[in-house]
Amino acid sequence: MSPAPLDASLGKEQAAAPSPAIRLRALNLGDRTYASALVSFGGLLLAVAGVIVVSLAHLAQPTLSATGPVHFVLGTDWNPVSGSFGALPFIYGTLVTSAVAIVLAVPVGVGLAVFLAEMSPRALRRPVSFAVETLAGIPSVVYGLWGLFVLVPILRDPVEPFLAKYLGFLPLFRGPPIGLGFLAAGVVLAIMILPTIASVSLEVLKTVPAPLKEGALALGATRWEAVRIASLPFAKAGIFGAVLLGLGRALGETMAVTMVIGNSPSIHASLFAVGYSLPSVIANEFAEATTKLHTGALAGLGLVLLGLAVALNGLARLLVGRTQRKLA
C-alpha cells in the first residue's frame, strides 16, 4: 500500500525543515462555516434581546416624551380618552400584590424545602417534588379561573370578615369584604410562585456539604439546630435568590391577577380593596388601544415591568450561582 502524500504542495525541503512552534488551530472550510453558523445563532439570541428592548422603547417613546418619564411613573391619573397617563396605581398594585405573595409563599416554600431536604423520610421526596412540579406546570389562566370561582368566594366569607374582626385595627384589613382585590391577587400569586421558591431553595439546600451538617449533629445538635446553625446560613444567599426569582415571576404574572384583582386604578391601604397591576392593565387595554399615545403608554408600562424583572432576575441568578459555586 503506497499512501498518497498528505499534501502534494508540500516540498521535501519544507518538510525536512524543523517547524517552528506552531499555534495549532487549522480549521477546514466546513469547520469554519459551521463555527460561523453557530456564532450567528448566538448572535441571534443577543439580537432577540436587543429587539425586545428597542421595540418596547420605540413604541413607548411618543407617550414618554409627551408625558415626561417622571410624571409617567409617579402620576396617579390614567385616562386614555383625555390622554393623561400616570402609572403609579399600577405600580402600587403590582408591588402590593407581590409583597403579599412573598409574605405568604416564602415561609411555606422554604419550610417545604427544608422539610424535604433535611427532615422528611426519603420515600416522601419524590411524590412531593412531583406535586410541586405539577403546581408549576398549571397554566396561569387556570389559576385565575380557580381564583375567581373558588378563592374569591372563600375570601369574601369567611376569611375577610374574620381578618377584619381580629386584625381590623390595622389599616390593611379594613373595608367591605368584596373578595376581589389585592388580597385575592396576592394569594393566587403566592400559590403560583411557591414552586419556584420551593424548588430553587431545595436545589440550594442540596448543595450544603454533608460534613457541615454532620459536624453540627456530632456536637449534639438536634436536627432543627443543625438546619439553623449549618444549612440555613450556608444556603442563605441562594434562598434569597430563590425568593427574588419568585418575586420576578410574581411581578410579571398577568392572567391570574387580572381575573381576581378587580381592575380599578386606585390606591388603597386596605388589602380588601380592588386595584390594578401593570400586567393587568396591559392585558385589558392593549387590544382596544387605538391611539399611538395609548399603546405607547402601555408599552411604557411594559418597559417598567421589563426593568423590574431584569434587575430582579440578574440579582437572583448571581445569588443562586454564588451559593452553588461555594462548593468548588
Looking at 80-88, 141-149, 163-171, 207-215, which segment touches other proteins (CB under 8 A)?
A: 141-149
Span from 76-84, 158-166, 174-182, 294-302 in contact with other proteins (CB under 8 A): 294-302
Stretch that binds other proteins, among 64-72, 167-175, 209-217, 250-258 (CB under 8 A): 250-258
d(CA 12, CA 280): 77
Q: Nearer Cβ to other proteins, position 113 or 270?
A: 113
Range in contact with other proteins (rule: CB under 8 A) among 2-10, 63-71, 73-81, 229-237: 2-10
Find the shortest distance in angstroms from Cβ 269 to other proteins: 26
Burial 22-32 (b: 16+ CB within 10 A, else e): eeeeeeeeeee
| Least distance from other proteins to the Cβ atom of residue 211, Å | 21
Q: Does 15 bind other proteins (CB under 8 A)?
A: yes
# binding residues, other proteins (CB under 8 A) = 106
Residues 18-57 that bind other proteins (CB under 8 A): 18-28, 30-31, 33-35, 37-39, 41-42, 44-46, 48-49, 51-52, 55-56
Quickly count: other Cβ atoms within 10 Å of residue 236's Cβ: 13
CA 23 – CA 6 distance, rounded (Å): 19
DSSP 171: G
Q: By CB under 8 A, tell whether 150 contacts other proteins.
A: yes
Which triple of cell numbers denotes residue 176? Answer: 367591605
* DSSP element (H, E) containing 84: strand 84-85
The position carrying cell 388589602 is 271
User: In the 8-state DSSP scheme, what is residue 266?
Assistant: -
Residue 314 lies near other proteins (rule: CB under 8 A): yes
Please report, as residue ranges, which positions from 98 to 117 form the binding site for other proteins (by CB under 8 A).
Answer: 107-112, 114-116
User: Is 175 or 302 the residue whose CB approaches other proteins more closely?
Assistant: 302
Binding mask 227-246 for other proteins (x = CB under 8 A): x-----------------x-
Binding mask 251-270 for other proteins (x = CB under 8 A): xxxxx---x-----------
Nearest distance from residue 303's CB to other proteins, in Å? Answer: 8
User: Smallest distance from the beta carbon of 266 to other proteins, in angstroms?
Assistant: 20
Hey, what's the torsion of the CAs at 194, 200, 202, 207, to 10 degrees? Answer: -170
Torsion of CA 248, 252, 253, 255, to 10 degrees: 180
- The DSSP element (H or E) to which 273 belongs, if any, is none
Which residue from 95, 99, 135, 172 is in contact with other proteins, where contact means CB under 8 A? 135
- Whichever of 68 and 107 has its CB closer to other proteins, that residue is 107
Where in 164-223 is the site for other proteins (CB under 8 A)? 191, 194, 198, 222-223
Q: Which three cell numbers stand for residue 138?
A: 398549571
Q: How many CB atoms within 10 Å of residue 176?
A: 13
What nine digits make up the cell of 328? 468548588
Nearest approach, Cβ of 79 to other proteins (angstroms)?
20
Question: Shortest distance, CB of residue 244 to other proteins, whole angstroms?
Answer: 10
Q: Is residue 115 within 8 Å of residue 264, measured between CB atoms?
A: no
Nearest-approach distance from CB 169 to other proteins, in angstroms = 26
Contacts of 307 (CB under 8 A, 6+ apart): none
- Collect all residues with Cβ–Cβ distance below 8 Å to 161 and sequence separation of at least 6: 177
Q: In whole angstroms, how close is the CB of 171 to other proteins at the nearest point? A: 27
Which range, of 70-78, 125-133, 158-166, 264-272, touches other proteins by CB under 8 A?
125-133
Could you tell me the CA-to-CA distances from 132 to 75, 142, 194, 289, 319 in Å, in that order? 40, 16, 8, 38, 23
